[in-house]
């Protein structure tokens, strides 16, 4: 790796950012935009459920294919969220869809939709950086992230449809 500092930063971003960012987003919504909170909470629940169901379709991440030039940054630089294959809470062959990208899309889209600040558009960078991080670390294919973003869109449509039916 030519830029070790960038590889390490990307690896840390992959391992650390998605859970605190999602929690901070939900707290921010609840405190500042309570009217938007139920919609995004519901989308998070639907997205996470869909990701957990789809994960049983086993898809190997790129990091398992070093012969194609992929590098497992977590193994090389530490801070792996996965243990040795066959151990730990996360199935290492459950790369599709990327819950990291799904939650980043939820946060980015939710902030853009709920906030009125001119700075809200900066949060679109979160999904872009996450998409780059999950691919650069070798943990996901691009399609894994695209599928997760599509699931956010589907969950938003379902939530909107249910709101029209009930309300």
Taking a C-beta distance cutoff of 8 angstroms, is the pair 100, 140 a contact?
yes
Could you list the residue range(s) of the whole structural domain that residue 154 is in? Answer: 4-166
Task: Report the domain count for the chain.
Answer: 1
In angstroms, the CA 118 to CA 31 distance is: 19
Question: What is the structure's pLDDT at 1?
Answer: 61
In angstroms, the CA 59 to CA 92 distance is: 9
Enclosing H/E stretch for 165? helix 142-166
Residues 95-143: tens digit of each pLDDT: 678 889 999 999 999 999 999 999 999 999 999 999 998 888 887 878 8
In angstroms, the CA 110 to CA 126 distance is: 12
The tokens of 54 are what?
A: 């789809």
Q: How large is the C-alpha radius of gyration of the chain?
A: 17
The 3-state DSSP class for residue 59 equals strand
Residues 42-83: tens digit of each pLDDT: 999 999 999 888 877 777 777 776 787 777 766 666 666 655
Q: Which residue has the tokens 């960012």?
A: 21
Write down how long the chain is. Answer: 167
pTM, full prediction: 0.85
Closest C-alpha to 55, from 12, 10, 100: 100
Residue 11 backbone class (left: φ over 0; alpha: ψ -120 to 50; beta: rest): alpha
């Amino acid at each position: 790796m030519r830029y070790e500092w960038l590889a390490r930063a990307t690896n840390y971003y992959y391992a650390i950012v998605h859970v605190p960012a999602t929690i901070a987003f939900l707290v921010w919504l609840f405190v500042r935009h309570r009217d938007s909170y139920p919609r995004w909470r519901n989308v998070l629940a639907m997205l996470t459920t869909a990701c957990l169901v789809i994960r049983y379709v086993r898809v190997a991440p790129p990091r398992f294919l070093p012969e194609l030039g992929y590098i497992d940054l977590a193994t090389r630089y530490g801070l792996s969220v996965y243990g040795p294959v066959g151990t730990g809470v996360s199935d290492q062959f459950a790369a599709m869809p990327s819950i990291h990208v799904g939650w980043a899309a939820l946060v980015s889209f939710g902030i853009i939709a709920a906030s009125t600040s001119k700075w809200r558009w900066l949060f679109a960078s979160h999904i872009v950086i996450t998409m780059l991080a999950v691919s650069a670390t070798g943990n996901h294919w691009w399609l894994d992230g695209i599928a997760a973003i599509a699931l956010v869109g589907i969950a938003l449509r379902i939530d909107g449809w249910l709101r029209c039916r009930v309300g």
